[in-house]
Amino acid sequence: MLFPGGNRMEGKTTDRIRTILGFAETLGRDHPSLFGKARPLPLCAEIGDELVEAYPGVAPEVIRVFLSAHRHSVPYLVALAREGAMCHGLGGPRGPVPPEEAERARKELETARSRIPSVQRAAPHVNPNGELGILPA
């Protein structure tokens, strides 16, 4: 037994993950241009507050954890690092991505890329658009 109480800890973690994934599915359905399966759009800093207001039945902790995972995903970082990218809120575009955010995304992408063995980088993969491609070396 890894945790006191056995499966109770595992059950709580599983329930938490299901809740977060359920919220992600809801956002993908309600706001497909921001959170759908297509290429993600950069989000404005206030999006967390907007989501808390728009989804009062969802715990702010669930929203915070979801946004943290979303904002550190490779497709999101690629969108954030793109030149001329615009920040988006629930109501649409808000303005250009701040240069320091774009630079942070580029650094995080480089760190993520350096962790992938060169053999994997050269392997075929399916990109966020569903197209077959090769990761750049």
Identify whether 65 is part of a domain. yes
Q: Containing H/E element for 74?
A: helix 74-81
Q: What is the mean pLDDT of residues 62-78?
A: 90
CB-neighbour burial class of residue 115 (10 A; exposed 0-12, middle 13-18, buried 19+): exposed
Which domain does 114 fall in, by range?
7-130
Is the pLDDT higher at 8 or at 4? 8
Question: Which CATH number characterizes residue 79's domain?
Answer: 1.10.1710.10
Note the pLDDT tens digit of each residue in 27-44: 999 998 888 877 788 888
Q: Is residue 74 situated within a structural domain?
A: yes
Number of structural domains found in the chain: 1
Query: Is residue 136 situated within a structural domain?
Result: no
Closest Cα to residue 42, out of 97, 100, 84?
97
Whether 1 is covered by a domain: the verdict is: no
Q: What is the pLDDT of residues 101-112, one digit of tens each?
A: 889 999 998 888
Considering the entire predicted model, what is its pTM?
A: 0.69
Cβ pair 97, 42 in contact under 8 A: yes
pLDDT the model gives residue 24: 92
Specify the pLDDT at position 62: 93
Tell me whether residue 2 is in a domain. no
DSSP assignment, residue 90? T
